[in-house]
Amino acid sequence: MLRYNFSVRQCFVAFVLLLACAKVGAPPGKPELAGPAVKILWPSPGDTVSDTVKVLIEALDPSGVSRVLLVADGEEIGSDTGAPYQIAWATASLYDEPHWLLALAYDRWDNEGRSDTVRVFTLNGNEPPPDTGKKGTK
């Protein structure tokens, strides 16, 4: 019969080494399938904005929110990784017309949540060219 004569200290060191060498993987717990609940708090639908605007976004998820993105007229504007989520949107070069905002949030499992689209208007003195139907910057 084999006998092992390990001290308590040796066992503790082996346990610590085992923990230190353990593979780091997905977040602990059961993966969830639903993305975060996301809402643009400001500006509100129908608001008129100008210059640089701080868009306020609420994102909630039981596993935690890893990041929030702001999309305006289909283009990514910026991101934030810490609540309260605030992303600056520079509107000074945009035409004075409606624009659409969307917030995307991701949880620790990389599930995506989307806000409702918010339609806002910009007022910076940049009239769009007549009869072109084009949207965007001047």
Each residue's pLDDT tens digit, 55-100: 999 999 998 999 999 999 999 999 999 999 999 999 999 999 999 9
Higher pLDDT, 16 or 87: 87
Where do the domains of the chain lie, and which CATH numbers do they carry? Answer: 37-122 (2.60.40.10)
Q: What is the pLDDT of residue 23?
A: 43
How far apart are alpha carbons 26 and 55 in whole angstroms? 31
| pLDDT tier, 128 (very low <50, low <70, confident <90, very high otherwise) | confident
How far apart are alpha carbons 66 and 47 in whole angstroms? 29
Q: Are the beta carbons of 76 and 53 closer than 8 angstroms?
A: no
59-91 exposure pattern, b = at least 16 Cβ within 10 A, e = fewer:
bebebebbbbbbbbeeeebeebeeeebbbebeb
How far apart are alpha carbons 38 and 89 in whole angstroms? 18
Of 33-37, 44-48, 71-75, give the lowest mean pLDDT range. 33-37
